[in-house]
Amino acid sequence: MNEVQSNLDQLIPFGNITMSRTDEGFLTIVCPDDTGVAVFPEAVSIPARIDLTAKTNSTNIRIKFGSGQVILNWECITGELRIHDPMLGFSYGVGGKGKVPVNEFVRISWILDVDYMLLLVDGEVRAFSEDEPYMKVLKSGLPKAPESLVGICSAWGSAVTVKQLNVSKWGRDNGSVTPLALLLDKNNVFVKPNESFTLESRFFPHTARPYKIVWSVSDEKTLHIDRTTDEQITVTALKQGIATITCKDDSGKIAASCTVRCVVPNLRTNLNNLKPVNGDWSEDYIGLIGVGSGDCFMLSSNEAADFTYEADVCIEAGIAAALVFRSAPNASGFYCANIDISGFVKLWRPGKDIRVAHTEIKRNTYYHLKVSVSGDNIKVYLDGRMVIDAHDGTYRSGLLGLNIFYGTGLFQNVNYSEL
């Protein structure tokens, strides 16, 4: 199948859903809960592209593909983009990228490729990743990507009106001279007052012909533009506040944005020289914030063998957040004690889950996570209660650090003491 042009009459209702026509001939979908979906009858496999023009009267524009979906105007946190993996169903949040205007049509494009995933809203990049779980599955030797159905729905009583829907077998247009998207090297930046930084932009794919770039900031009282070129912008933070830096091509058809928070940091820790291995890590007035897809690490220069190590840990918009210890400098080998939103505390190292303790874990809630390590004995405590007592002697010493998994994690009062 190359492309299914939007014929809204082809959409088939499943579950708790009502569908009706507007006077203009558009399709309005209302789902009282989160079980209804309007499904396109013809399946498609990855690589695929879904183009939707739709609007919501409140929340929850949802595009489903296989076991996954993307959610704009999520009912829990409307500003957070929700992404569920199309093959494995894993979910995570991208802060500040989920909001769309109410009662206004927006153009949404979701491209699922073997090598990347791209989500655009009115030409603006909301998500770009080259490290999604389904990509690893498809590259692991699976003979053929399974065919999946595409669905559109609302949730929890919202009304989504669909103007147009196209489902395409994606041509993996990596050789195109026409850019698919503008990408920034950072989506979130945390700075202090009077601190300067530089953002870099690039067109995707790399074969795309470059166009002139126009830069702007949403609040000139918070950010001052020092210098711009087609590839870069340098700004200085003037005072505490939140502002957005946007870059667009001169036609205005594609864009990208970065949220900048200018804050006075207040991380309380006795670790030294905390530096990111991957992901976006920054200090805020509430502590340390980590944002990223996949496993993202920040390591200190503190090396320890036997110790206690603890922190207040919160999963804001992700799957897991963790203490890392006895780590190699590049995080190729380590122990990790995490809290997971699926409902457990886990002690693990690469290639092995050492021990899992099931307990309720909620988002936007701080938990005091502590490990006590002596020889091959590792104890993990949650809010003062020992939940794991295990033995593993793979790593005897290493660096202390932190980890987040697919989303956003918060850390405060990060301290250790040697035994």
Q: What is the structure's pLDDT at 50?
A: 95
Q: What is the structure's pLDDT at 1?
A: 44
Q: What is the structure's pLDDT at 141?
A: 75
- Does 158 or 192 have the greater pLDDT score? 158
Residue 370 Cα to chain centre, angstroms: 26
Please write the tens of the pLDDT for every residue from 362-400.
Answer: 888 899 999 999 999 999 999 999 999 999 999 999 999
Q: What is the structure's pLDDT at 6?
A: 65
pTM more than 0.85: no
Give the least confident one: 174-178, 304-308, 327-331.
174-178
Query: How many other CB atoms are there within 10 angstroms of residue 324's CB atom?
Result: 25
Reported as a pLDDT band with limits 50, 70 and 90, residue 263 is confident
Contact at 8 Å (CB) between 194 and 236? yes
What mean pLDDT is reported for the chain?
Answer: 92
Reported as a pLDDT band with limits 50, 70 and 90, residue 175 is low
The domain ranges of the chain are 3-169, 181-262, 275-418
Please write the tens of the pLDDT for every residue from 203-252.
Answer: 998 888 888 999 999 999 999 999 999 999 999 999 888 899 999 998 88
Pairing, β 366-374 against β 307-315: antiparallel
CATH among 1.10.3720.10, 2.60.40.1080, 3.40.50.1000, 1.20.1330.10 for 181-262: 2.60.40.1080
Q: Report the candidate in 322, 265, 266 with the shortest Cα–Cα distance to residue 299.
A: 322
Q: What is the structure's pLDDT at 46?
A: 93
Within this chain, domains 3-169 and 275-418 share the same CATH topology: yes
Domain 3-169 belongs in CATH node 2.130.10.10: no
CATH number of 275-418: 2.60.120.560
Please name every residue paired with 43 in a beta bridge, in sequence order, or none if there are none: none
As a whole number of angstroms, the distance between CA 415 and CA 311 comes to 6
Give the list of residues 6+ apart from residue 265 with CB closer than 8 angstroms, or none. Answer: 190, 192, 283, 284, 285
- pLDDT above 60: residue 2: no
> Rounded to 5 degrees, what are φ and ψ at 138?
-65, -25
